Amino acid sequence: MNQKLEKELIQIIENDEWMIHVLKIVRDLNLKDCWIGAGFVRNKIWDVKHHKSRTKLNDIDVIYFDKSNTSKERDEVLENKLKENFPKLNWSVKNQARMHIKNGQNPYKDCEEAISFWPETATSIAVRINSRNKIEYIAPYGLDDLFQLKVKPSPKCDLKIYKSRIEKKGWKEIWNKLEIEFKK
């Protein structure tokens, strides 16, 4: 892992009061192997690299891994709890212990393996704040692509899904320095 980028990631998050607040909200759910991933991290880094203020998030992707209760209803209960207490935020809660079914894959062993199937390497990153108020992260493909503004498919992603997301997201219009890779 690139220690310089690791330090930069942690520093960017530590200097963002709003992100710390959101991370503490999620930590207080006391879920196993729990993180916030995708746009929460990706957009922040891209905003910093483009000297932009915070870009609006579609949602806050809360992921956790708990084999003891993989019902979709549990995720909905957690989402509703977050929405009741923090209604200004659009929450999305998904237990990664069941997401392999939706994705037609073998069971994942933890959140880090689960996010290795996310479409882009720069999106396959999640963070949390631990009980000692220290930032932790998981990034199965490292931090280089994220910080170098490179958008490319993760090795485990279906290329049709990747291409569809690139077309729908319009990231290049928001962050013009991005280098988007299209594989044939």
* pTM over cut 0.85: yes
- Looking at residues 78-86, what average pLDDT do you find? 94
Percentage of the chain exceeding pLDDT 90: 90
Q: At what angle do helices 17-27 and 39-49 cross, to 10 degrees?
A: 170
DSSP of 46-109 = HHHHTT--PPPPS-EEEEE--TT---HHHHHHHHHHHHHH-TTS-EEEEEHHHHHHHHT-PPPS
With cut-offs at 50, 70 and 90, classify the pLDDT of residue 184: very low
Q: Quick one: which of 65, 63, 172, 169 has its CA closest to 124?
A: 63
Evaluate whether 88 touches 41 at the Cβ level (below 8 Å). Answer: no
Q: What is the structure's pLDDT at 102?
A: 79
Domain boundaries, the chain: 3-180
The C-alpha atoms of residue 172 and residue 127 are separated, in whole angstroms, by 24
Q: How many residues does the chain have?
A: 184
Instruction: Look at residue 148 and tell me whether its pLDDT is greater than 60.
Output: yes
Instruction: Look at residue 1 and tell me whether its pLDDT is greater than 70.
Output: no
Domain 3-180 in CATH 3.30.460.10 = yes
Q: What are phi and psi of 125, to 5 degrees?
A: -145, 140
Q: What is the structure's pLDDT at 145?
A: 97
Which tens digits make up the pLDDT trace of 90-139? 999 999 999 998 778 899 999 999 999 999 999 999 999 999 999 999 99
Q: What is the structure's pLDDT at 12?
A: 98
Q: What is the mean pLDDT of the chain?
A: 94
Instruction: Look at residue 25 and tell me whether its pLDDT is greater than 70.
Output: yes
